[in-house]
Amino acid sequence: MKIGIVGYGNLGRGVESAVQLAGDMELVAIFTRRDPSTVKVASDAPVVSMDKLDEMAEDIDVMILCGGSATDLPEMTPQIAAKCNVVDSFDTHANIPQHLAAVDAQASKAGNIGIISVGWDPGLFSVARLYANAALPKGDDYTFWGKGVSQGHSDAIRRIDGVVDARQYTIPVEESVNKVRAGEHPQLTTRQKHTRECFVVAEEGADTKAIEEAIVTMPNYFADYDTTVKFITQEEMDSEHSGLPHGGSVLRSGMTGVDGQFNNTVEFSLNLESNPFFTGSVLTAVARAAVRMNAEGVTGAKTIFDIPPYCLAETPREELIAHML
């Protein structure tokens, strides 16, 4: 399968690496809006200007889109779906139906498939929720994120006066997770689900009390959480907090029996040393499914809910059934 990558940030690097590890894939090109001569990539794939995408699209089986959900993907995914099969990681949950419709219009017309909102949430977490809900129609869903770095929250701290660098970890409240696991079906407030731990490098002479206050009272981002703030040096930041770990758990606690007499807990958990590399790896598996499904005549906008799982694996279906079922 001939693969193209569009966009080369952390996620693009993760996809590049996953494609290199796949025995059935060839990385044809990495497309960038920057001057290609300034983009140094980890593989020996050619870096090509976005202007060349249209003419190269016909030699590519699927394009893996590694732009951001805020502004890149809403434009980029429908546009490129008109030229080629695509996979993206659009993760603005509230706008998924709208994005699906926009991609569907272009992909259907062109006879391509566009699989959107792929990664782990949305993505593997979503499909875990779906299996758990199908098996336990009566019950309660819970999602806990972390321990992991939230880039949005880290950026929010960096915008505060006097802050040089910041890293924010989202941490699930263990006591609440255990209540769910124990089948207690708790009703949890925002504060009871997650805490937020912030590491901050301040400018020399900055008012750290004022910075801490600005963080913990910040609406939406921190005010509803128990937030701790630690000031550290840039050296500590670089040596201790340079990774992008993440993860979390999807749980469903639900009843079987006509009278709901049996409680059951289904849990799906991820513990990832690198969020973008894992997300890139999921996108790559879904890109394989996109090519296979399109070859079988499937067109239009799809999600992970539409993919027969065997299509994701390099191993052939018969072998999966014999050895993994």
39-58 residues near a copy of itself, rule: CB under 8 A: 42-43
Which residue number, 217 or 269, has a Cβ lying nearer to a copy of itself?
Answer: 269
The whole-angstrom separation of Cα 117 and Cα 74 is 11
> Restricting to residues 104-123, which ones interact with a copy of itself according to CB under 8 A?
117, 122
Q: Report in angstroms how near the CB of residue 100 gets to a copy of itself at its nearest.
A: 6
Q: Is 308 in the site for a copy of itself (CB under 8 A)?
A: yes
> Restricting to residues 243-262, which ones interact with a copy of itself according to CB under 8 A?
256-258, 261-262
Angular region, 129: left φ>0, alpha ψ -120 to 50, beta rest:
alpha
DSSP class of 274: B
Stretch that binds a copy of itself, among 10-18, 149-157, 211-219, 232-240 (CB under 8 A): 10-18
Q: Is 151 in the site for a copy of itself (CB under 8 A)?
A: no
Q: Report in angstroms how near the CB of residue 7 gets to a copy of itself at its nearest.
A: 18
Q: Report in angstroms how near the CB of residue 219 gets to a copy of itself at its nearest.
A: 26
Of 27, 34, 78, nearest to 56 by C-alpha is 27
Q: Is 178 in the site for a copy of itself (CB under 8 A)?
A: no
Q: Report in angstroms how near the CB of residue 245 gets to a copy of itself at its nearest.
A: 9
User: What φ, ψ does residue 274 adopt, rounded to 5°?
Assistant: -135, 110
Residue in 48, 113, 200, 270 binding a copy of itself, rule: CB under 8 A: 270
CA 178 to chain centre: 25
Q: Which residues contact 297 (CB under 8 A, 6 or more apart)?
A: none
User: What φ, ψ does residue 102 adopt, rounded to 5°?
Assistant: -65, -40
The whole-angstrom separation of Cα 194 and Cα 165 is 23
Stretch that binds a copy of itself, among 80-88, 133-141, 201-209, 234-242 (CB under 8 A): 133-141
Which residue number, 13 or 83, has a Cβ lying nearer to a copy of itself?
Answer: 13
DSSP class of 301: E
The whole-angstrom separation of Cα 320 and Cα 310 is 7
Stretch that binds a copy of itself, among 49-57, 220-228, 230-238, 305-313 (CB under 8 A): 305-313
Q: Is 137 in the site for a copy of itself (CB under 8 A)?
A: yes
Q: Going residue by residue from 60 to 99, which x/- string records binding to a copy of itself, judged by CB under 8 A?
A: ---------------------------------x--xx--
Q: Is 200 in the site for a copy of itself (CB under 8 A)?
A: no
Of 245, 244, 265, 242, nearest to 254 by C-alpha is 265
Q: Is 324 in the site for a copy of itself (CB under 8 A)?
A: yes
The whole-angstrom separation of Cα 198 and Cα 177 is 22
Q: Is 177 in the site for a copy of itself (CB under 8 A)?
A: no
> Restricting to residues 272-301, which ones interact with a copy of itself according to CB under 8 A?
272-274, 277-278, 280-282, 285
Buried b (16+ CB within 10 A) or exposed e, 229-257: beebeeeebeeebeebbbbbbbbbbbbee
